[in-house]
């Protein structure tokens, strides 16, 4: 087996290096979320971290990595005693696949043995292997919601709990969670996002020389992995020893009142939610001080911790790019620094003075940074000279590329509102989400079915026993040990019937949950939509629906039609913020090619039905219904509506027509089109949750449908 890529051989990405090392020094920081474009060595660096971690002392033979001096009292392999052997093994990095089942993550109970033998046989999952180690989730933003819930529970409680039909097992699950993601594929749920202590935004360098160094190093590794790793063995060992020294120094680091005031001032200045940001920033500042060889937290430690702990916690809505403003951070640090610092304030550096040399600084024998880190570890040190300059912000604070300045004629959206829930009728079985009803592996139990080969985690105990009792009460002898007599009582017993389920009797629970859908917007951007600032209201409504789609874990797509054509402005994607960016610069004007817009939407629905058949579509047509392009605009629009209706029906989806018509005289063309589509008709003002117009939607839809049937 070839050695992994050395941690110290990775070129650039200084902030990611620092964040991972701080998590290794102090697991209390809460792990790291790495956001960045594809091909930036995110996974390579995370996997390389495992080789730097110090060995872990465990109870020999314990599958849950219990510490010999402080074993878990509820360990399934316990109770452990002082007489048991101990073992020093390398720290583990457990990878959690995106498509893993809940039983693979939590572990499972062998229910067939539990039912037939009365034995609780527990098989540990990935969380048991990650205890006292690192849990790595690549593409964490694509993780199914039920697995996200499992991780949230384990991260909050420090324990994993498995419950199957009144059989319960729990064990310790304390791990450092490291996740990587590509924002283009969708954002992370806010609850899980907040569980990551630190976050880093990475991007490939645009410097040709640096890119050449990266390619040169990678080619050298692929040509001779063992030789390449050997060249970095010394720097890897030095870095590992420095991490061990920082861990030992961690308990001696003092967080002064002045430093704590700086932390709380910074968190308040950025208006972060809750107090977890303050706690994480404090833990990261303490870890940074220990890593830097200091025993007192200084301003530089607070600055470095804030840049890593706050970017993902200051977002006001889902479409804000993570990051913090350097000027605002410096101002908050200055506001929290007293004019005349007391003797316990280590940060007494005046202009031209280095931190730690003024009055109140640590004594000269305070441990300094090891000399051995001169080569491999230099990027991990953030000196005041390298971080105080606002003109050279670290990658941690990198923003997404600036959106193009909107055209002067482009109407901007107002403040979005909470949109009412739009759903696809019937039951689906697609991706986990929070929109439409679906038959899922978790949720409310609504029935039972005969078990297939895979019965893990879904046995319906009552239905299983009922199926077994029917057979055995009828005198089905020869079903194995415990078969009943013809009167339903086992020979030699005191008269209590005993049911012994067989494989054919097993029943699996059928559960109702929620699924995510493909929300495909078909937006009319013609001149009539831009009249009287109506497009501002349209953009606000669509933006509100986009936020709702983000919260409900949907994919989104955007079809725009204006002038004489319809275009797929955004192919279906999980990156909802990309749709918001397209919507922001959407111009209006020209005639209304309604038929072309509906036909293009039908084409996208059909194509996505092949690409992702398990995700049912919800088509949202936003228009006033006026077709003005072409002499035969009306019949072509009616034909295109029929085509779209057939494609939506074939995909078992649904449709909604948002009526944008205004004025004292209304033609009702959007309502008529909703009838041709078999879609729900909603006036634009009725999209807000709890609105009076929204409450009348069902009545309007019934009236329109009846009118269309009479006309036909």
Residues that are catalytic: 276
- C-alpha pair distances (Å), 295 with each of 50, 365, 542: 26, 11, 53
- Report the half-sphere exposure of 132 (CA within 13 A, side-chain side): 22
Peptide bond into 79 cis (omega under 30): yes
| Tokens found for residue 64 | 């849950």
Pairing state of beta strands 134-138 and 93-95? Answer: parallel
> What distance in Å separates the CA atoms of residue 357 and residue 377, rounded to the nearest whole number?
24
| Tokens found for residue 208 | 């040709």
CB-CB contact of 134 with 72 (8 Å): no
Residues written for the chain: 712
Please list the helix, strand and coil fractions of the chain in percent, rounded to the nearest 5, in that order. 40, 15, 40
> What distance in Å separates the CA atoms of residue 652 and residue 613, rounded to the nearest whole number?
10
Residue 426 region by backbone torsions, left for phi larger than 0, else alpha for psi between -120 and 50, else beta: left
| Tokens found for residue 38 | 């594809």
> What distance in Å separates the CA atoms of residue 35 and residue 198, rounded to the nearest whole number?
11
Q: Rounded to 5 degrees, what are φ and ψ at 555? A: -90, 150
Pairing state of beta strands 107-109 and 122-124? Answer: antiparallel
Which of 500, 490, 508, 517 lies closest to 572, judged by CA? 517
Residue 613 region by backbone torsions, left for phi larger than 0, else alpha for psi between -120 and 50, else beta: alpha
Cβ-based neighbour number of residue 425 at 10 Å = 12
> What distance in Å separates the CA atoms of residue 184 and residue 571, rounded to the nearest whole number?
12
Which of 300, 294, 292, 295 lies closest to 373, judged by CA? 292
Which residues contact residue 632 at a Cβ distance below 8 angstroms, ignoring those fewer than 6 apart?
none
CB-CB contact of 124 with 107 (8 Å): yes
Which residues contact residue 552 at a Cβ distance below 8 angstroms, ignoring those fewer than 6 apart?
433, 434, 435, 514, 516
Which residue shows structure tokens 């629905």?
Answer: 605
> What distance in Å separates the CA atoms of residue 579 and residue 309, rounded to the nearest whole number?
28
> What distance in Å separates the CA atoms of residue 621 and residue 655, rounded to the nearest whole number?
8
Which residues contact residue 262 at a Cβ distance below 8 angstroms, ignoring those fewer than 6 apart?
299, 302, 332, 333, 336, 337
């Amino acid at each position: 087996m070839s050695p992994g890529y050395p941690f110290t051989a990775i070129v650039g990405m200084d902030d990611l290096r620092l964040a991972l090392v701080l998590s290794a020094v102090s697991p209390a920081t809460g792990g790291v979320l790495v956001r960045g474009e594809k091909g930036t060595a995110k996974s390579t660096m995370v996997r390389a971290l495992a080789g730097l971690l110090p060995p872990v002392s465990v109870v020999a033979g314990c599958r849950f990595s219990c510490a010999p001096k402080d074993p878990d009292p509820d360990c399934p392999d316990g109770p452990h005693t002082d007489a048991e052997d101990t073992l020093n093994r390398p720290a583990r990095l457990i990878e959690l696949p995106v498509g893993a089942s809940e039983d693979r993550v939590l572990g499972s109970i062998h229910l067939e043995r539990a039912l037939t033998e009365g034995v609780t046989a527990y098989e540990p999952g990935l969380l048991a292997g990650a205890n006292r180690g690192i849990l790595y989730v690549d593409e964490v933003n694509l993780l199914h919601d039920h697995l996200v819930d499992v991780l949230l529970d384990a991260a909050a409680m420090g324990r994993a709990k498995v419950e199957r039909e009144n059989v319960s097992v729990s064990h310790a699950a304390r791990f450092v969670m490291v996740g990587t993601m590509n924002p283009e594929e969708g954002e992370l749920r806010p609850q899980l996002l907040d569980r990551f202590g630190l976050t880093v935004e990475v991007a490939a360098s645009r410097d040709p020389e640096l890119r050449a160094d990266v390619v040169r190093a990678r080619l050298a590794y692929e040509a001779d992995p063992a030789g390449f790793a050997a060249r970095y063995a010394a720097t890897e060992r030095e870095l590992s020893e420095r991490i061990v020294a920082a861990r030992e120094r961690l308990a001696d680091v003092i967080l002064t009142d002045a430093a704590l005031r700086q932390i709380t001032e910074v968190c308040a200045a950025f208006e972060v939610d809750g107090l977890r940001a303050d706690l994480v920033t404090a833990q990261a500042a303490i870890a940074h001080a220990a890593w830097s060889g200091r025993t007192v937290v200084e301003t530089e430690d607070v600055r470095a911790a804030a840049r890593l702990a706050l970017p993902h916690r200051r977002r006001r809505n889902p479409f804000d790019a993570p990051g913090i403003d350097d000027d605002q951070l410096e101002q908050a640090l200055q506001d929290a620094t007293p004019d005349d610092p007391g003797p316990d304030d280590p940060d007494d550096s005046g202009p031209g003075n280095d931190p730690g040399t003024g009055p109140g600084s640590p004594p000269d024998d305070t441990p300094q940074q090891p000399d051995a880190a001169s080569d491999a570890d230099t990027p991990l040190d953030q000196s005041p000279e390298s971080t105080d300059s606002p003109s050279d912000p670290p990658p941690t604070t990198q923003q997404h590329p600036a959106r193009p300045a909107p055209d002067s004629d482009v109407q901007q959206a107002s403040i979005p509102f909470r949109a009412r829930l739009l759903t696809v009728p019937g039951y689906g079985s697609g991706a986990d989400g929070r929109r439409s009803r679906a038959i899922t592996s978790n949720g409310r139990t609504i029935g039972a079915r005969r078990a297939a080969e895979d019965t893990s985690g879904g046995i319906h105990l009552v239905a299983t026993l009922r199926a077994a009792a029917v057979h055995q009460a009828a005198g089905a002898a020869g079903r194995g040990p415990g078969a009943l007599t013809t009167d339903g009582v086992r020979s030699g017993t005191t008269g209590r019937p005993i049911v012994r389920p067989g494989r054919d009797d097993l029943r699996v629970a059928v559960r109702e949950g929620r699924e995510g859908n493909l929300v495909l917007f078909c937006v009319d951007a013609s001149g009539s939509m831009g009249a009287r600032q109506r497009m501002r209201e349209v953009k606000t409504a669509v933006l509100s629906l986009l936020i709702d789609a983000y919260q409900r874990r949907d994919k989104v797509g955007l079809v725009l039609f204006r002038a004489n054509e319809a275009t797929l402005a955004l192919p279906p994607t999980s990156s909802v913020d990309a749709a918001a960016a397209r919507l922001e610069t959407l111009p209006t004007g020209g005639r209304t090619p309604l038929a072309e817009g509906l036909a293009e939407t039908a084409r996208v629905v059909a194509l996505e039905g092949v690409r992702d058949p398990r995700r049912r579509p919800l088509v949202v047509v936003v228009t006033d219904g006026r077709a003005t392009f072409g002499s035969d605009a009306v019949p072509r629009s009616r034909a295109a509506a029929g085509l779209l209706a057939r494609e939506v029906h074939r995909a078992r989806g649904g449709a909604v027509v948002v009526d944008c018509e205004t004025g004292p005289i209304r033609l009702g063309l959007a309502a008529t089109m909703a009838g041709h589509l078999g879609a729900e008709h909603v006036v634009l003002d009725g999209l807000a949750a709890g609105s009076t117009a929204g409450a009348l939607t069902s009545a309007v839809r019934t009236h329109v449908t009846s009118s269309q049937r009479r006309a036909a």
